[in-house]
Structure 1
Amino acid sequence: MNFVVSLVIGAVTALAPVTTTPLSWQDCGDGLQCAQIKVPADWTRRSGPEVAIGLAKLPAQDQARKKGVVLVDTGGPGEQIALLRQARRSFADLTRWFDVVIFDPRGFGESTPIKCPVPAPFATEWVFPDKAAYEAYAAKNRAFGEACAEEAGVLSGNLNSWQIAHDMEAIRKALGPAKLTYLGNSYGTVLGQAYAELFPRRVGRMYLDSVFDHTTPDLRTWLRPRATALEGAFERFAAWCRRTSACALHDKDPVAVWDEVMAKARSEPIPAPEAGPEVRISDTQIASRAFFTYEDTWEGLAAGLARAQAGDASFFARVEGAPDPDLSRVVLCADLPYPGYDKLKKLEGELRRDTPHIGWRAVWPIANHCAGLPPTRTYAPHPIKAPGLPPVLIAGGEYDDTTPTADGRRLAAQLPHARFLPATGGHALYLTGHPCVREHVHHYLTTGKMPPQGTSCGPAK
């Protein structure tokens, strides 16, 4: 199945950026300097209306000896400048050599903002139990998307990585260097992939962490590594339970307990008395709320499963997390257009054959973002060609089921002379402080030298 939607924004060929005036940096608190540039709202119509892109700079510690500037996107998609104010320590090492510059993507924060008048719906049961539940959610998401598109004005239909990559090229010109040094994390790697394809000869050094693959048009191919990684997290949890007395299922077969609880909840939802006398928890609610990725959640999850086996599913009545920023789903779904319920349910069935316990759940998270959104101009996944691109360093954590290592390896195979650095760890290796990864990244960004072929990083100490 191919889930590429027609690329209605025109040819993939990059357009020359508009001329930018020198940046006027102003102190804006928290040790940051801020500025703005103006760019076309639609890079296919460079003479049309303009919008602002907000920038923030964390200056290098020694301006006389700095090596240049590194542009950063930490992911999302979403606001970046507000995050930099809170996470300056994550970039302190980089300021030994570089000015660190971050930008709010079009529509967010200090850029020309879009304030969607209808809030995006938030599904606490995002593994949809049936088509009726999916369609009801999709209708709410469609109403959100239609209202947001109207509010977006000149930016309506112009929120995707193709447009943002052109903004990045305008930022490079405004900053001054002939070549862009870029660090992208998670969704920031989608921007990196777009920039590398559109402006390969403008890249100096590029580090991509926890790659969100934007090169695979076949949804089955894209989903399987996520399902496999998620099932692997479940298996690591089960192995931990068997060897750890702190696990409430230590004297039982944790896999059998999971299967039993899910079967019970499927046939007749399990009471959750702590949430209310009438509350019952279904198997799709458990699947939506059981997270096996992080070891620090395992003890509580095991205890919750033990209680559910005994007839009390109160643990799974809790809803953790929060809605994504409203505009994030509009951008994400323009880059990753997603099919409807019938195709997804068929894919779920296929994944259940190989990842029967929880990996099949990988079908549903992006459906939660994209279900029912009105059509827009998309920059859908496609194989990447980037002749003239210098070597790119890519890293991924073997326990990451959001952006599995298969994504990073697949991208590395398509980019000339790229190198993949595997690590024992999860998502966002650099930003979460993995020391081995950070050491290799700093060496690459400051010298251009890659880790030796075959290098890997063990667990963070």
Structure 2
Amino acid sequence: MKVPLDYENTDAGSIDMVVSRTRSTNPPARRGVLIVNQGGPAPHANDTFEIFPRSLTDAYDIISFDQRGFGRSAPVRCQVPASRDTLIPWPQPGGFAEDVSVAKQIARNCVEQGGPVIAHMGTAYVARDMEVLRKALGESKISYLGMSYGSYLGTAYASLFPEHTDRVLLVSVSSPDRMWRGHWQRSLGEGFALRFPDFARHVGQPVDEVYPRLVTLTKQLDRAPLQTPRGVLDGNVLRAAIYAAMYNDGQLPMLASLAHAVAAGDAATAGDMALQLGAWRPTDRAAAMLGVSCSDGDWPRSMSVYQREVHADAVRYPLFAGAGSNVWPCAFWPYPVDERVRANPRGPQNILIINNVRDPSTPLANAQELRAAFGDRARLVTVEQGGHNAYLYSPNVCANDAGTAFLLGATAHDKNCVEIDNGTTGAAGVGDRQGRVVDGHHAGPW
């Protein structure tokens, strides 16, 4: 599908956007189209939906796409140092001065190598692409399911084009007022603080004992990285692994094993656990993700702002050494900020928000803010569990049923979901995102 490169200057030409469509498995029961974005930002045209209940695949043609700059939709690339191949600006060994130098170099590389698309990748652009897609599909209205970052895209579309929305389900949400810089400040701060007791319960130790031990291990690895068969495990690799483990209860045993192995100097086990948690997972999407995040909001240009907030965050949340407030390449981004979309309370009452109470990545406060901003248009389902992704990838029957019923046309209500389908709220033995059961050993004190 062709979409304009620049919606404010249609003479700038067009780009290709790759779209996939899985048609309804029961055409007589078809309700319409459901556009799905499972987060990221990331390419989604190749997504599969085996986890969707049959009632949804009967009711909808399932639509997904590679958003501009990703996958096969005019992809952008620029050189990013291996130590900064994710958006989280983990502290560099040389301190804040090196953080600034690395961020400035990444911005320079992206400007030189990214091409014209990288200047037009904000979420408002992608929402406009979705409107072109709606017209191409010949639908007067679309339904939408957005998870994590996809929730912000859904917020943008429902705010810009409310008259063309049917059902809008936003899961594990990002608040428009907290996108990107505010998001990481919150997720590496209060979100993690709410989630961490789940890990402490898993290892059977008090929070005020477990947390300082992990801080000690990260600082130990800052000074003397562990050489493992899988790669060099330094403090930032451990920080990344800790953060990743909190996304799913099934990964908590691996984190316990990793911490135990680091403390014991067991390089082989530590390397295996860090690898399984994705701490070294390479990504070629960092440049494209910067194209979105740097276009979505105003970033301070004063380095003193970042330095002051990094110091304050490092004191409040020492496990992540101030990364939540650290300087991004966006501080040196030369392109103008795209339209910053606020939640629009004027429109149909057709939005449901679902969020875990102890989500480290998209804390519940985001969902509460978004619910308030949408006013009577939205309802909120809170889920009494930890981890990221509160619908379909969650074991909570109440939340899953609420989301599916809403997409099938049921009236949404504010509610709280507590029951879990396997009868346990403990961490051990809970399946991860792929449905596997992760078997880790009790680490004991480390």
For Structure 1 versus Structure 2, the TM-score category normalised by the shorter chain is 0.7 to 0.9
Aligned residues of 2:239 and 2:319 also touching (Cα < 8 A): no
Tell me what 2:33 maps to.
69
Tell me what 1:123 maps to.
83
Given the alignment, which residue of 243, 250, 255 partners 1:301?
255
Tell me what 2:388 maps to.
427
Given the alignment, which residue of 373, 379, 383 partners 1:414?
373
Given the alignment, which residue of 167, 180, 187 partners 1:205?
167
**1:289–1:338 distance in 2 versus 1, CA, 3 Å:** farther
Tell me what 1:166 maps to.
128
Aligned residues of 1:425 and 1:459 also touching (Cα < 8 A): no
Tell me what 1:184 maps to.
146
Alignment of 1:83-94 (within 5 A): 83-84=47-48, 87-90=49-52, 92-94=54-56
Tell me the SS of whatever aligns to 2:176: coil
| Counterpart AA for 2:30 | K
Tell me the SS of whatever aligns to 2:36: strand
Distance 2:3 2:210 in 1: 55
Tell me what 1:105 maps to.
67
Q: CA deviation at 1:156?
A: 4.4
| Counterpart AA for 2:310 | E
The range that moved more, 308-317 or 195-204, is 308-317
| Counterpart AA for 1:302 | A
Say whether residues 1:44 and 2:3 are aligned partners: no
Deviating beyond 6 angstroms after TM superposition, the runs of 4 or more aligned structure 1 residues are 311-314
Q: Percent identity?
A: 23
Tell me what 2:311 maps to.
349
Q: CA deviation at 1:394?
A: 0.5
Aligned residues of 2:118 and 2:291 also touching (Cα < 8 A): no
Tell me what 2:214 maps to.
258
Per the normalisation by structure 2, the TM-score is 0.78
Q: CA deviation at 1:455?
A: 3.3
**1:352–1:459 distance in 2 versus 1, CA, 3 Å:** farther
Q: CA deviation at 1:43?
A: 1.2
**1:324–1:415 distance in 2 versus 1, CA, 3 Å:** farther
Tell me the SS of whatever aligns to 1:447: coil
**1:157–1:273 distance in 2 versus 1, CA, 3 Å:** closer
Q: CA deviation at 1:160?
A: 0.8
| Counterpart AA for 1:305 | A
Distance 1:72 1:389 in 2: 20
Tell me the SS of whatever aligns to 1:334: coil
Unaligned runs of 5+ in 1: 1-35, 244-248
Distance 1:147 1:230 in 2: 36
| Counterpart AA for 1:236 | D
Tell me what 2:44 maps to.
80
| Counterpart AA for 1:144 | N
Q: CA deviation at 1:421?
A: 0.9
Distance 2:182 2:43 in 1: 31
| Counterpart AA for 2:242 | A
Aligned residues of 1:214 and 1:380 also touching (Cα < 8 A): no
Q: CA deviation at 1:209?
A: 0.8
Q: CA deviation at 1:169?
A: 1.2
Distance 1:425 1:265 in 2: 28
- Cα deviation 1:76-104 (Å, max 9, x = unaligned): 212111223xx444475421211111122
Tell me what 2:190 maps to.
228
Alignment of 1:281-430 (within 5 A): 281=234, 283-284=235-236, 286-291=238-243, 292-293=245-246, 294-309=248-263, 315=270, 319-325=279-285, 326-339=287-300, 342-358=304-320, 360-364=322-326, 370=329, 374-379=333-338, 381=340, 383-417=342-376, 418-423=378-383, 424-430=385-391
Distance 2:29 2:240 in 1: 50
Distance 1:158 1:402 in 2: 26
Distance 1:220 1:61 in 2: 41
Per the normalisation by structure 1, the TM-score is 0.76
Q: CA deviation at 1:280?
A: 8.6
- Cα deviation 1:136-174 (Å, max 9, x = unaligned): 42244124311333x33xx34211111111111111122
